[in-house]
Amino acid sequence: MKPGKVALITRGRYAGRKAVILKPYDDGTKVHPFGHALVAGIQRYPGKITARMGKKRIAKRSKVKPFIKMVNYNHLMPTRYALEGIEQLKQQIGNENLKEVSQKEEAKKAVKKSFEEKFQVSPSLPPVSVWFGRLNYC
């Protein structure tokens, strides 16, 4: 699996949620001796926006709640889509950021900011609409 690839999480707390692969670990690590990936995904998707809505309501509906997690490859279903511009996230987030709660919260804030910027730019373009849109696999 390659960095930037959009995948669906199939098991656990975030089952059915979309995530983007930040760092794949094909051979595993000492702590996790199996193939896994560091993923950042959307726990709460942004709401639908219409032309009649005011700025305040649009701002509220554009919010995203992210998550960051190490996920086993067996629990990921890769899609054909890739998300552009995740290089900054890859540099900010690493294994050491997941150990302390305060560092994990800072990483989540960075992910949230990045996802919300992507949603503000173009919520209807194909890669972004797939990322923020409804899950059509069922």
| pTM over cut 0.85 | no
13: in domain: yes
How many domains are contained in the chain?
1
Q: Has residue 72 been placed in a domain?
A: yes
Asked, for residue 27, whether it belongs to a domain, the answer is: yes
Distances (CA, A) of 100 to 61, 66, 80, 91, 96: 30, 17, 33, 17, 8
Q: What is the mean pLDDT of residues 98-112?
A: 86
In a domain, residue 82? The reply is yes
Q: Give the model's pLDDT for residue 13.
A: 93
45 belongs to a structural domain? yes
Flag whether 137 is in a domain.
no
Q: Is residue 26 part of a domain?
A: yes
Residues 114-133 have a mean pLDDT of: 67
In percent, how much of the chain has pLDDT > 70?
84
Residues contacting 25, CB < 8 A, separation 6+: 32, 35, 36, 37, 38
Query: What is the pLDDT of the chain when averaged over all its residues?
Result: 83
User: What one-character-per-residue DSSP string does the chain give?
Assistant: --TTEEEEE-SSTTTT-EEEEEEEESS--SSS-S-EEEEEEEEEPPPP--TT--HHHHHHHT--EEEEEEEEGGGEEEEEEE-S--HHHHHH--GGGGTSHHHHHHHHHHHHHHHHHHHHH-TTSHHHHHHHS-----
Q: pLDDT value at position 122? A: 61
Q: What is the mean pLDDT of residues 8-32?
A: 90
Is 21 exposed, middle or buried, given 0-12, 13-18 or 19+ CB atoms closer than 10 A? Answer: buried
Domain that holds residue 60: 5-132
The pLDDT value given to residue 53: 86
Q: Tell me the per-residue pLDDT of 51-98, one tens digit each, with 9 for 90 and over.
A: 898 889 988 888 889 999 999 999 999 988 888 777 777 777 766 667
33 domain-assigned? yes
pLDDT value of residue 125: 54
Query: Which CATH number belongs to the domain containing residue 120 in this structure?
Result: 2.30.30.770
